[in-house]
Structure 1
Amino acid sequence: MAVTIREVASAAGVSVSTVSRAFTAPDQVQPTTRQRILDAAAKLGYSPNPAARSLRGGGTGTLGLIVPDIANPFFPPIIKAMQARARHLGYTVLVADSDEREADELAAIAAVSKRVDGLILWASTLTEDRLHELAGRMPLVVVNRHVPGIPEVRISLSAGIAQAAEQLKAYGHRRCVFINASRAELSRGKSIQESFEALDLSLSELGPYEPRFETGVHAATLVAAHDATAVIAHNDLVALGVLHQMANLGMSVPRDVSVIGIDDTLLASVSTPSLTTIRIDPEEIATRAGDLLIETIASTTGRTGQGLEVTSPFVEIGSRLIPRASTGPAPAH
């Protein structure tokens, strides 16, 4: 027999209306009370009924998430964690893939926007004007993209990059290459350049390319021309392409060249050699992005031409280096 909202209220020692607000308008409930309600609901196995909520309040009980490339192994753990977090708060998640193209992203938004209460856009390709127009029509959160006035989850690579530079410096590396596979407005090159220059490490840049395995295969053949002893790649997929091509060229990693990725996907730990990488916690991203969107939805008092009546929250996710076998001492010349 399904657990009722009254049973949750009784277990948490609050009213039924407070339980309802904890799930539908969490900002209106004290954090300690809300957590007590969530704990009671989890213990009893209670799950809000999105369909009933939709009939009462016009909502769908669904959150939208559009990612650049669902085939990238970085995203499935985030999607899974976001589904778990949303389910805990009484929502489901609808996922779409933009394939990092503006036309596809616009098509995905058009397809899902009427079926969700709010939308999370990851590294959106849209202009700021388009994003502001969209935010005026529905609750919106952007991830890894800064747009003034729109709630944002930003991934900071500063700590992880600094640790990577420190490791390479300690191993005796002096000449490094960054394989850039990000769009101009999302470029990681500047922060990486600054971190490496601070430690007197030379850093050449290749690209920009697309953030795919094939990019690493292509770029690996160019690394030797720069006389580099270390490579930092845009993400793990690119770094794995480098590892693959280095082996084809008869080069040894890390004896001849050290390689560092970014993301810490499952493939990083099982590659040969295992990949040193900068970790971004998928569960933290999923939790913070999902919570921020739900708070934005709850804070919405109307969908007028003036846009959402919310401030612009900002959440930052950190990073750290995960040392593995793909980095080692610089070769002696």
Structure 2
Amino acid sequence: MPVTIREVASAAGVSVSTVSRAFTAPDQVQPKTRQRILDAAAKLGYAPNPAARSLRGVGTGTLGLIIPDIANPFFPPIVKAMQARARRLGHTVLVADSDEREADELETIAAVSKRVDGLVLWASTLPEARLLELAEQMPLVVVNRHVPGIAEVHISLSAGIAQAVEHLRAYGHRRCVFVNASRAELSRGKSIHESFEALDLSLVELGPYEPRFETGVHAATLVAAHGATAVLAHNDLVALGVLHQMANLGVSVPGDVSVIGIDDTQLASVSTPSLTTIRIDPVEVATRATDLLIETIAGGAGGAASVPVPEPVEIGSRLIPRASTGPAPASATSR
């Protein structure tokens, strides 16, 4: 089995990204460190696989990032953090928006792929077979999408959701609504249902809808019909739509209904009331995705069936309690 860049990094006592720089941008690595890396590589029999770069003739020094919706406040910090990480490692980042449409994503990939050394696809809408074809043509990392054979960054909401459910139960909530705006292959709804069932909380699912502010506005009018005292939204953007419409309807948050989002965008802390949400660290996600893509490029994964795919990277989550959650109304807790 071929020696991987990760094994060289371990033997040299440095990060994978430092090994990558030693071979692709040696002037950015201290001479002593670079020599230690070269010695470790020689001892292990490692040689950089140029397959990924040769697909386009020469390396571009540019990484591609395709996100579903650049207007979603969750993504700008991701883009900024990825640009910062890439710059430190001697790369630039080209960002594009697929608008969560398969046809637009394919068109965007076709336009971007000739200009980059590899791609990060966020929650791709493409079929698994198409993604595997792309991974054979160029280095690829998928975020929040599991496809065997492709390098992956997985954002685990398990801890954050479990904390959210415990939070609601402690406040006496028993009937809750989940506003679902995720696609079936992302399985977010399944894990959320399991968490609520584990603590014997009733959960009604609305949707699936699109993950937009307008979805929350629409869903807010349905919450009362289900007798729910708490809402868990697909993301902060949907949750903010719920808060907006609740205010229009004269419903008190959290007096009548508690609301929880997912992402912990900047808007969550400045909304009225401030939004309780499940935090996903954008800097950690961006840094790990960047490093994984550079590792995939340097290791030759993508177009080289004999090269092992790096292990999946998992990012955790946690609840950030704020003013949008509170005790369930007395009429609800006495049922």
Normalised to the residue count of structure 2, the TM-score between the two structures is 0.83
Question: For the structure 1 residues 73 and 23, does the alpha-carbon distance in structure 2 shift closer, same or farther, using more than 3 Å as the test?
Answer: farther
Q: Which residue number corresponds to residue 204 of structure 1?
A: 204
Alignment of 1:148-297 (within 5 A): 148-297=148-297
Q: Which residue number corresponds to residue 311 of structure 2?
A: 313
Contact persistence 1:23–1:89 (CA under 8 A): no
Structure 2 counterpart of 1:141, one-letter code: V
Displacement after TM superposition at 1:310 (Å)? 3.1
Contact persistence 1:268–1:277 (CA under 8 A): yes
Question: For the structure 1 residues 308 and 327, does the alpha-carbon distance in structure 2 shift closer, same or farther, using more than 3 Å as the test?
Answer: farther
Question: For the structure 1 residues 308 and 76, does the alpha-carbon distance in structure 2 shift closer, same or farther, using more than 3 Å as the test?
Answer: farther
Structure 2 counterpart of 1:201, one-letter code: L
Question: For the structure 1 residues 19 and 308, does the alpha-carbon distance in structure 2 shift closer, same or farther, using more than 3 Å as the test?
Answer: closer
Structure 2 counterpart of 1:124, one-letter code: S
Among candidates 313, 323, 327, match of residue 325 of structure 1: 323
Aligned residue for 1:205, secondary structure, equals strand
Percent of aligned positions that are identical: 85
CA RMSD, Structure 1 to Structure 2 (Å)? 2.4
Q: Any gaps of 5 or more consecutive residues in structure 2? A: 1-17, 38-52
Q: Deviations over 1:25-84 (max 9, x none)?
A: 89xx9xx947x99xxxxxxxxxxxxxxx99xx8100000000000000000000000000
Q: Deviations over 1:147-171 (max 9, x none)?
A: 0010000000000000000000000
Structure 1 counterpart of 2:109, one-letter code: I
Aligned residue for 1:109, secondary structure, equals helix
Greater length-normalized contact order (CA 8 Å, ≥ 6 residues apart): 2
Q: Which residue number corresponds to residue 80 of structure 1?
A: 80
Displacement after TM superposition at 1:312 (Å)? 4.0
User: Whole-Å Cα distance in 2 between the matches of residues 185 and 121 of structure 1?
Assistant: 15
User: Whole-Å Cα distance in 2 between the matches of residues 121 and 173 of structure 1?
Assistant: 38
Displacement after TM superposition at 1:307 (Å)? 4.5
Contact persistence 2:254–2:326 (CA under 8 A): yes
Contact persistence 1:137–1:307 (CA under 8 A): no
User: Whole-Å Cα distance in 2 between the matches of residues 311 and 101 of structure 1?
Assistant: 27
User: Whole-Å Cα distance in 2 between the matches of residues 95 and 218 of structure 1?
Assistant: 31
Contact persistence 2:21–2:90 (CA under 8 A): no
Q: Which moved more, 1:220-229 or 1:184-193?
A: 184-193
Aligned residue for 1:313, secondary structure, equals coil
User: Whole-Å Cα distance in 1 between the matches of residues 161 and 317 of structure 2?
Assistant: 8
Displacement after TM superposition at 1:308 (Å)? 7.0
Contact persistence 1:300–1:310 (CA under 8 A): no
User: Whole-Å Cα distance in 2 between the matches of residues 217 and 83 of structure 1?
Assistant: 34
Q: Which residue number corresponds to residue 3 of structure 2?
A: none
Q: Which residue number corresponds to residue 43 of structure 1?
A: none
User: Whole-Å Cα distance in 2 between the matches of residues 208 and 316 of structure 1?
Assistant: 25
Contact persistence 1:275–1:325 (CA under 8 A): yes
Structure 2 counterpart of 1:238, one-letter code: V
Q: Which residue number corresponds to residue 132 of structure 2?
A: 132
How many corresponding residue pairs? 293
Normalised to the residue count of structure 1, the TM-score between the two structures is 0.84
User: Whole-Å Cα distance in 1 between the matches of residues 20 and 168 of structure 2?
Assistant: 53
Q: Which residue number corresponds to residue 71 of structure 1?
A: 71
Aligned residue for 2:319, secondary structure, equals strand
Contact persistence 2:123–2:145 (CA under 8 A): yes
User: Whole-Å Cα distance in 2 between the matches of residues 137 and 289 of structure 1?
Assistant: 19
Contact persistence 2:77–2:283 (CA under 8 A): yes
Aligned residue for 1:64, secondary structure, equals strand
User: Whole-Å Cα distance in 2 between the matches of residues 22 and 324 of structure 1?
Assistant: 45
User: Whole-Å Cα distance in 1 between the matches of residues 232 and 287 of structure 2?
Assistant: 28
User: Whole-Å Cα distance in 2 between the matches of residues 183 and 25 of structure 1?
Assistant: 40
Displacement after TM superposition at 1:19 (Å)? 8.5
Displacement after TM superposition at 1:116 (Å)? 0.2
User: Whole-Å Cα distance in 2 between the matches of residues 113 and 208 of structure 1?
Assistant: 31
1:105 aligns with 2:105: yes
